[in-house]
Amino acid sequence: MARTVGSIIGGDGAPSAPGGKLEARNPAHLEELVAVAELGDAGTFVEACRIAREAQPGWAATPAPVRGRVVQQIGRIVEENKERLARLVTREIGKPYRESLGEVQEVIDTCNFFLSEGRRLYGQTVPSEMPDKQLFTFRAPVGVAAVITAGNFPVAVPSWYVIPALVCGNTVVWKPPEYTPSSAEAFAQLILHGGLPEGVFNMVMAEGPVAFEGLERALDEGLVDKVGFTGSTDVGRRIGELCGRHLQSPCLELGGKNPLVVMPDADLDLAVDGCLFSGFGTAGQRCTSLGTVIVHDSVHDEFLSRFAAAVESAAIGEPFEDVLYGPMISERFGRRFEGWLDLVQPHHKLYGSSATGRIGTGNPREGFVGDPDAGLYYHPTIVDGVTMEDELYGTESFGPIVGVASFASFDEAMALANGHGYGLSSSIYTNDPKNVFRFRERISAGMVSVNNSTSGAEAHLPFGGNGRSGNGGRQAGIWVLDQFTRWQSMNWDYSGKLQKAQMDVADVPADLGFRLP
């Protein structure tokens, strides 16, 4: 029986659905109703922020090591429920079960890392230029954090915001995607059972435009101090503009058109493996998914032949089986992907199967695992001959489509790698250290892989991009602490007299023997 899921504010479920109801269906088996979301309205979001504001001083006063222990408990509870949560993620968004297990493990890793940060929210002592005076710096929580995340990673990505925000002494209002209500509720309950006081963590189930209206009102009322957003570049721009009006800097993790460069000396089989996973894992529905493979002319044909063969033989279908990828997350993503296929132009060449679009009995794929007509399955598509003038080159297609471009010189490769304006993830396949360091120096992306895919992140390494991919904010590791704390400086003068900085500084005793004319 499908669950009914609503907002959770102050530890209690919201009693009504002023924003209406939304059905969430299993994209691999559309006849299966997974959950019904009872949606809030803008007022629901504002009320959650108000409750979080009231709870924040008490949570900030809780010693940071104690806050870290709560995060530790959350991690342990998630670990105890790893398989159940992963299965729920797979049912709700169609992610292959093995990938879902990895996603839940990311939550556990994040909790394990930030447990220790509760004892390491370091400040510094700084030498003063005056006697009998000490200078200090402290990390202080920002206050209330509003976090809005996407559905392709319904539990891992929220943990990158929520866990460090809590350790740093902030309270949180989380707006998950409305089309993953069951995963969101399960994750929220696991967090709440870690021992958080009422109001410290709140979840608002609402549609995007409604949540934006609520965020705008909450900012106008001074109820939100930090916004974290993972989603599209267009929405990220709007959130950036909104926060800018309140002199706030949001943490924006946006889209990508991630390049992978194949040099003449690359191990082509290894490069094919990397392209297969980063291009088609999660059906290409990751912000770090491969956008364009940029291949040297001398190995282009051989690489493309091997890549097409690998894609053609890859298992696609039922996500609880051993497959490369399953369905699109929801019908909205399927429809949008069909629009991206319209970007394929006559001068492009399609490799692998000539079939494109939705897989079904009328448009079959050989070796499909399961019933293709039951879900939202789409053919993998390789498009060769992509140039910088093509719309496909600069569009984040968010689906199982990979472009291929060729280059003759390293400068040409770098122009192709950077020219679209995104700067999230990137990769180069080469065995020449000179190529590695030249690529690292010139790529605009915030993340660089060498002989590895564009996808994949570890909980203790900074995650984020630049340009159209974000505003430079970073998640994960110690670097995310700067998103959820403010630096505070303090000077303590115990000389018993007023000492004026820059005015009462002692003279340097040595006479260097030089005077201005």
Q: How far is CA 280 from the centre of its chain?
A: 18
Token pair of 252, please?
A: 């924006």
CA angle 432, 435, 440 (to 5 degrees): 130
> How far is CA 251 from each of CA 117, 121, 320, 408, rounded to the nearest angstrom?
20, 20, 34, 38
Token pair of 325, please?
A: 């990828």
Q: Label the pairing between strands 29-38 and 3-5.
A: parallel
Positive/negative CA dihedral, 369, 372, 378, 384: positive
Distance CA 267, CA 245 (A): 50
The single residue of 111, 243, 275, 287 carrying the catalytic annotation is 287
DSSP secondary structure code for residue 507 in this structure? P
Distance CA 221, CA 92 (A): 35
Q: Which residues pair with 486 in a beta bridge?
A: 140
CA angle 332, 237, 427 (to 5 degrees): 75
The total of other beta-carbon atoms located within 10 Å of residue 31's CB is 8
Q: Are 251 and 483 in contact (CB under 8 A)?
A: yes
Q: Is 287 a catalytic residue?
A: yes
Torsion of CA 463, 468, 472, 475, to 10 degrees: -30
**Active-site positions?**
287
